[in-house]
A and B are shown apart, each in its own frame.
Chain A
């Protein structure tokens, strides 16, 4: 639904629905912290940004024109080939996952999920965490510079 609608707002709303479905999957797999992050950041942050830009760059003109580009047949063929490969490998490899199935579940610890994620994030992955914050700073400054009329 996200990729087939003519109106971009409808596509964005379909994307919100699928993002919330993914958030439900996180909850099913004992990842409560990521569930909250997904709802707050994706549905609350990114999608509002998308809707804002859709309203800003008035898409009425684009909605009336041709929606798909000229290479769509080649693109569909390539994606079908990749999909066939993925299906084949998942089918062939599905027995390999049975080793892990018995042990599936919450990490054995007295701490909750958020505490575990925080422990790992701030001890083992401290340097990538700081790099991610620098990346976000660069992204914010860059998007402000690009979206500004004159500096």
Chain B
């Protein structure tokens, strides 16, 4: 029976980061891109908590709270932008929003 060590948490966090990055880079739906960003922020939080636990400090948990706060703000602003965009362009697909391209 192997104990769960910091390395396992780091590997899980790296896996979540990669899954989130794939989601951000390949999906066309903006809602799913925002959900992938939430996944990436959770990977960061796992790292912070794992090191806070390993180093017997509480600072990592405080920083995780700040990361969660930023995630909330980002989700609120992102979804507000998405609603405004949908009202103007009638689409949620990222590659049809090409106003700045020529």
Contacts and interface: CB of A to CB of B under 8 A. Distances in A.
Interface residues of A, number: 80
B76 A26 contact: no
Interface in B34-69: 34-36, 38-39, 42, 45-46, 49-50, 52-59, 61-62, 64-66, 68-69
A53 B46 CA distance: 27
A72 to B, nearest CB: 4
Chain B contact-residue range equals: 35 or more
Contacts of B36: 2-3
B58 A79 contact: no
Main secondary structure on A side of the interface with B: helix
Contacts, number: 218
A18 B39 contact: yes
A103 B48 CA distance: 17
Interface of A: 2-3, 8, 11-12, 15, 18-19, 22, 25-26, 28-31, 33-34, 37-38, 41-42, 45-46, 49-50, 53-54, 56-57, 59, 62, 65-72, 75-76, 78-79, 82-83, 86-87, 90, 94, 97, 100-101, 103-108, 113, 116-117, 119-121, 124-125, 128, 132, 135-136, 138-140, 142-147, 149
